[in-house]
């Protein structure tokens, strides 16, 4: 059923050839960006002759870059729509959106970015407008890279009848204004924008006017925790989001004696920090950097419910493997990453890396507990991962695949596999010490000790050459050297105590 207000709005839209944009602090806003116009319609009984003269004077004021120019109306300054007369304030701008549109967007980061930009513009508006400014979301348009205010003379508050006619106006009033008290150091303009910011996190309680008036007077517009929020639950666990929510609650909540308002620039920066932290990859990395890897993986699991994606799965798997030492958890996450994006080679490379280092576990207690089935499943996963790698990436990950084959006991296949990837045409890549030692290990396990010893000699000579030339990182040389030393010990034991290489 269409209300009287709705019918009047439809008449205005049709006759103005404009679209309703929202309620302003004074009047209602309509937009017609194709004609570079926005309109503010104020019931004529709400303003005096002196105020109308002030509006006319604004049409000749020097233009400012942060205010939308006021221009003469195409068909006069007053018009009648559906048996009611309105004073029309005409603005010249081709902006298509207002802050009200931005706050209503489904994407939280876009909402916060717009509110932060508007709060940064507030000091300039104060300088241009003086005191008494209470910008509602529809009073600000978003044009280009900066927000602009649809200005009015500093008239203060409209009549109580007009304030109470729109619950949104009530919600943006300071509690002191509702109770008829001095501001107590609370700036009405920043308070109104603080409420707009809170609307990015939770829905505005559109109760009846009387109930909303009570909530506002008690500084509890957003105090009902039973109401649905507008953020996924995982975002509310992110520290920058929690921090800025507390700042906004302090700004709009009950004031302690002597407390002052927040600095607009500082508040805008905090909103931007919260916005950046709403990226799950950023949030998870921040927890990891703060030394909280388990919380990082837990947050990743929570975020994946709302924002499933391969990059987050890969990051969570990396943390589970490298920071928590939980390779099975990492493999579970990587399997989900493969399913989410079969074309992403990073997941296959990570699977090979983890599985290649698991065989000492699989061959011991874990293999016995699973009757070998788990080991075979890992082997199948490794084969599939290697086969799905891009051809140009397979040589880089041949060592991990070799470890899987050796660990599974496929020694003949492993020896042939390593021989293939150690050669680039007729050239033996002796500097690939990881593969060289894999090759030597296959011969050792096959009982071909002399062949194993010959390859070990090549590794020893190669390490000396690389160490002298400085063409490899010292840490890598050390790791290869340690593995070489372990291999020589194993070879010595296999020879039954004979002098080894």
| Percentage of the chain lying above the pLDDT 70 cut | 93
Contact 36, 17 (CB under 8 A): no
Give the C-alpha separation, 357 to 285, whole Å: 24
Check residue 293 and give its pLDDT: 97
CB atoms within 10 A of CB 80: 11
- Residue 366 per-residue DSSP state: I
The pLDDT-based confidence of 371 (bands split at 50, 70, 90) is low
- Report strand pairing: 19-23 vs 84-92: unpaired
Give the C-alpha separation, 67 to 472, whole Å: 61
Nearest to 173 by CA among 139, 219, 130: 219
Q: What is the value of pTM for the model shown?
A: 0.82
pLDDT in tens, 206-240: 667 778 888 888 888 877 655 568 899 999 999 99
pLDDT in tens, 182-195: 777 788 999 999 99
pLDDT in tens, 114-166: 999 999 999 999 998 887 789 999 999 998 778 999 999 988 888 888 888 88
Give the C-alpha separation, 21 to 38, whole Å: 9
The pLDDT-based confidence of 392 (bands split at 50, 70, 90) is confident
Residue 312, C-beta contacts closer than 8 angstroms, at least 6 positions apart:
280, 281, 284, 300, 303, 304
Per-residue tokens: 423: 């050669």
Check residue 1 and give its pLDDT: 43
Nearest to 43 by CA among 84, 97, 104: 84
Query: Which strands form 146-149's sheet, in the order they lie side by side?
Result: 97-98, 140-143, 146-149
- HEC profile for 215-249? HHHCCCCCCCCCCCECCCCCHHHCHHHHHHHHHHH
Per-residue tokens: 59: 């049409």
Per-residue tokens: 381: 């996963």
Contact 433, 484 (CB under 8 A): yes
| Paired residues of 423 in beta bridges | 428
Query: Which range has the worst mean pLDDT, 139-143, 268-272, 341-345, 374-378?
Result: 374-378
Residue 497's SS3 state is coil
């Amino acid at each position: 059923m269409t209300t009287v207000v709705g019918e009047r709005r439809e008449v205005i839209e049709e006759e103005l050839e404009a679209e309703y944009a929202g309620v302003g602090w004074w009047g209602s806003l309509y937009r017609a960006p194709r004609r570079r116009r926005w309109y503010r319609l104020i019931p004529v009984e709400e303003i005096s002759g002196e105020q109308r003269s002030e509006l006319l004077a604004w049409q000749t004021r020097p233009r400012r870059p942060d205010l939308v120019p006021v221009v003469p109306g195409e068909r006069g300054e007053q018009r009648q729509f559906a048996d009611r007369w309105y004073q029309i304030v005409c603005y010249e701008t081709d902006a298509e959106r207002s802050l009200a549109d931005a706050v209503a967007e489904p994407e939280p980061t876009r909402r916060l970015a717009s509110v932060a930009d508007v709060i940064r513009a507030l000091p300039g508006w104060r300088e241009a407008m003086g005191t008494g400014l209470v910008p509602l979301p529809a009073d600000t348009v978003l044009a280009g890279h900066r927000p602009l205010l649809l200005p009015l003379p500093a008239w203060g508050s409209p009549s109580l009848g007009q304030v109470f006619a729109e619950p949104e106006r009530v919600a943006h009033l300071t509690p002191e204004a509702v109770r008829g008290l001095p501001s107590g150091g609370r700036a009405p303009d920043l308070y109104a924008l603080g409420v707009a910011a809170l609307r990015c996190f939770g829905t505005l309680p559109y109760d009846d006017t009387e109930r909303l008036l009570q909530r506002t007077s008690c500084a509890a517009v957003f105090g009902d925790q039973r109401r649905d929020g507008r953020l996924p639950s995982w975002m509310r666990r992110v520290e920058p989001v929690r921090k800025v929510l507390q700042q906004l609650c302090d700004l709009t909540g009950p004031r302690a004696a002597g407390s002052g308002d927040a600095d607009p620039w500082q508040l805008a920066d905090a909103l931007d920090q919260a916005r950046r932290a709403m990226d799950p990859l950023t949030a998870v990395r921040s927890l990891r950097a703060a030394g909280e890897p388990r919380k990082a993986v837990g947050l990743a699991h929570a975020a994946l419910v709302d924002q499933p994606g391969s990059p987050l799965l890969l990051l969570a798997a990396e943390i589970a493997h490298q920071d928590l030492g939980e390779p099975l958890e990492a493999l579970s996450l990587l399997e989900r990453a493969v399913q989410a994006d079969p074309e992403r080679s990073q997941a296959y490379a990570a699977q090979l890396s983890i599985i290649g280092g698991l065989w000492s576990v699989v061959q011991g207690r874990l293999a016995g507990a699973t009757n070998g089935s788990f080991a075979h499943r890992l082997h199948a996963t490794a084969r599939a991962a290697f086969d799905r790698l891009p051809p140009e990436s397979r040589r880089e990950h041949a060592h991990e695949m070799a470890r899987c084959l050796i660990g599974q006991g496929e020694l003949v296949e492993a020896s042939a596999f390593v021989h293939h990837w150690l050669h680039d045409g007729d050239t033996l890549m002796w500097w690939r010490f990881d593969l060289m030692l894999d090759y030597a290990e296959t011969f050792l396990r096959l009982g071909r000790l002399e062949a194993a010893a010959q390859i070990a000699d090549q590794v020893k000579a190669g390490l000396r050459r690389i160490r002298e030339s400085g063409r490899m990182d010292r840490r890598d040389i050390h790791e290869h050297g340690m593995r070489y030393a372990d291999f020589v010990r194993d070879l010595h034991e296999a020879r039954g105590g004979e002098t080894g290489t």
